[in-house]
Every structure is written in structure tokens, then in C-alpha cells.
Structure 1
């Protein structure tokens, strides 16, 4: 009845041809529910988070560089204890506290929390899916972002496997520091480009890690090769690496080319994961990096092995604890 009176007051049903009414109805149906309005605070919140994450990862890189310079990889302290990293985490937390752009976006503008970062906290090689899990508040998002960034930074060190490098010569130390720092610099350059791509935007983002020819990331990956080309082996031959460096990373290294390729793979994995977790994207990181375990960030379960006991036909099982 209400609809009939409205039409009558506007000139009656006869002033609206049936075809016109049908067309309008179809248009309304095709448009569906309107998209949520984008707010300035939503844009600024995403930018604030991205910049803080970039600064925090730079702090992790600086800390690793300090350990590389001193050569004490196995004794290198937990990065969570370093003052520079704690400051970086505080800056990230400040971007989510009351009075921040993120706080205004969520609690004043009514923007859904799912519009920032991941919807639920992923494992990120630090069991963040267990320690944080669902993200229901800005405080949860803060906990998740700090947990993920720690997990990514520590996993980067784990992939480098620096604890098994043994006794290093001065040439080894020089090579290792230059190549590992170039690897970290490469994935940070990639993330910086992702941040630029996302600037001024909101979810869903389409800013994956990009190593296409001519990209800044591609050039940074090439720089890793150049650093490796300056290394020297035990005999002092330039462009080769010593047997000590064959033990670096978790995959077989038989030559300088293998070493450069593996460092590039590690850098691609880190670049892809950092872009995904920060901007809630789903780029195929195993496919992009060529590293099978560059996926959900879950640590592999402890393995086991067995050996045959000579003479009696039995076997002994060895677990990770043994």
C-alpha cells in the first residue's frame, strides 16, 4: 500500500512504463549490497601498519648484521631481547592504540577489524595461530603482528642455518656477512615496493612480491649473485666458496652458484610471506619462491630415523629427542 501511494503521488503508475520499472528493478538487483565506504582513517591505518612493519623488519636485519659482524651466530642473543627491536615493536603497537588512525577507523568510523592485516592469525613459524588465534580487537591484531614479525625474522635465520658454519676464515666471514646481508636487503626492498603499491588503498590489496625483470626486487636478487662472485674459497680463488659455506642453509650447497641460488630462494620466500601477512594477501609463496615449506608457516614436526643393528636383524628407532 505504501508503495502504491508513493507512485500515485508522483503521477500515478501510468507515468512509469512497465519496462522502465522492470529495468530499474533489474539494476537494483545487479548492484546488490553497496560496498563498505572507504574512510581516510582506514587508508591511514593500513599505511601506518605497513610502515611500522617495515621499520621493525629493518631492526631485525640490523641485529642480524651485528651478529654476522661479530661472528657469534650460535651465541647471538634472542632478537626479542634487543633494544632496537623492542622499540620497533613499541612503534607498531602505538599504531593500534587509542587515538591512532586504526582506533579511529574501527571505533569511530565503524570499519570492520577484518579490513586490516590477516583475518585470523597465521602460524608464521612462531605458533601465532595458537598463541593469538582469532583477531577480535585491535589489541589482538597488535599481538598477531608482533608475533608474526618475530616468527618471520627468526625463521629467516633458521633457513640460513648459520649455527652449522663451523670454524670460519676471515674470507669466509667477509663472504657470509656480505651475502646474507644482501639477502635480507633484497626481501626488504621487495616489501618496500609492496608498501608503495598499497599506499592509498584498502583491502583487498593486489600487491604481491614481484621479481619480474627490471623490478627493484629482481635487481636486488642479482646483487646477491654479485656478492657471491666476490667470495673466495680456501685456495683464495675468487668466485668460489669454501667448504665451510657449503654448510650454510638447509639445502645442499655444492658450488657458488648453488649458494647464490639458495639465498635468492630464501629471500623470495621471506618477501612473499611478509607481503601476505601484512596486507592479508594470498600469493602462492611456495610457487613464487621455489621453496616447498614456504607455505603456512607451521614448523615441521620432529622427525625420527632408524638404524639396522648389525648381526641380529633388529632396528633401533631414534627420535628428535635422542
Structure 2
């Protein structure tokens, strides 16, 4: 007896699913939701009503109260509004796809400009106009119009290169942190403007193999003294949260600022990284050796 009563209660509580009628367009509503649970969407404000609101009286009340100017419009007017509402997602999807493609193309061109070490203005002054001309002649006007949406101004190319550089540096630092140990190679130099530069190369383990990359190249504030080199190096490691204790090797040339017994850069690195072994760069050794060789052997080398 109790089971029969529960069954009757469940049947009485069963929710009635209302069906959408195509004739509801005269109230300004189109089909939304799914076939299992139909819903209605207003063609004026795009508001979606629940299945319980799928009654002609409620739909008519929404049209009269929210959109009184459309209440007396003919059915053809509301059908045109429905067509415009259904076309909006397609337009948004197409525009988003084109924007992503144009953005990716901008980064690809900026990467080529950086690899070839060309002036940033070449992208806007030469590459883009040439690409537009070729597409206009071979593919058509539509393709040429799409290419004109690619942003390749001088500032944009510079910003793209900086962003790609920062991303590469970030990934390299993460690889170094994940490696159980690493070694560095230091070299101080000067550019054509006679500014002091510090170049740091790094070797680290990844996927059971040893990889080598350029870690950074920074301008020293004053000169290539040991204090300046160590300050620049230690500041970079601190900012990037790289642990000195994982450093197991330091390779330098034979300059006094690098190999000094008491205040040299290598000595100061070994204070933070006790396991770091000092090695002399073999390229500098070869350079020193060739200075005392005969012209014939120097030419062979």
C-alpha cells in the first residue's frame, strides 16, 4: 500500500516538458535549448527563457512589456530579427579566427626579422606591402584584404620580439631549475660602442642529455672588474630564483678578474657553490697558443 502511494506521488510530481511551437515567432521568440528540454530565446534582447516560461501568454507578456515597439510588428519583421540573431555567433567566430590568425602571422614575421637581424621597420615598409601585392595578383583581392589586418609597425615588431625573448628565457630558466645540476661559462667583452658586456652560457641536463644555451647577455654598469661581474651574475640568479648550490662548473678565460685567487669571480662563485669546478676555456687556450706559432702553422689552424 505504501509503495503504491509513493508511485502515485512520483507521477503527480513529474514535470511536464513543454514543446516549442514554430508559431511562437509571432511573439518574438525562437527555438533554444535542446530537443530534450526546449527553451525559447527572444529575438530582440536575446534573453533565454526556461521551459516553464514556454507559454504563449508569458511570451506575449514579455514582448508587450519589454519590447512594446515590436509588439505590433508583422511576423516577417520578427523573422528577420531571428535571422540576424542566428548570424551573430557565426560573425563572432569568424572575426575571432581572423584575429588569431593575424596575431600569429605578426609573431611569425617578427621572428623572421629577429633571426635575420634586420631593422624593425622592414616589416611594415617592405614585407607587408610585398605580401599584399603578391596575394592581390595571384590569389585575389579578398586574401590581400585579410593580410592588411596583420599589425607590423615598428613598435609592434619590437614588442613581439621582446615577448618571444622573455618567453624563451622563462622556459630556459625553468629547465635549469628542473636540472639536478648545471654549469656556466663566462666571458666579458665590449661592443662597438666600447660598452662592457657580460655573456653567460649554461649547460644543464634534460631528458638524459646535456643541453647548452645562451643564458643572458647584459651590459655591465661600469667596467669588467670582478665586483661588477659578480654583482650582475648574482642579481640575475637571485631574480630568477636559480640556486647556486646546483652549479657544478665554471668556465672562464685567464683574465685576472675571473681567476683571481682572493677576489676573482670564480673564487666568489665557489663560496656560494662549493661543488663548482674551475676550467679554462679551450678556445682561449688555442688563441694563446697560436700567438707563439709560426705563420705556417697559424695558417693551417
Q: TM-score, normalised by structure 1?
A: 0.22
Higher strand share: 2
Higher normalized contact order (CA 8 Å, seq sep 6+, divided by chain length): 1
Q: TM-score, normalised by structure 2?
A: 0.23
**Larger Cα Rg: Structure 1 or Structure 2?**
2
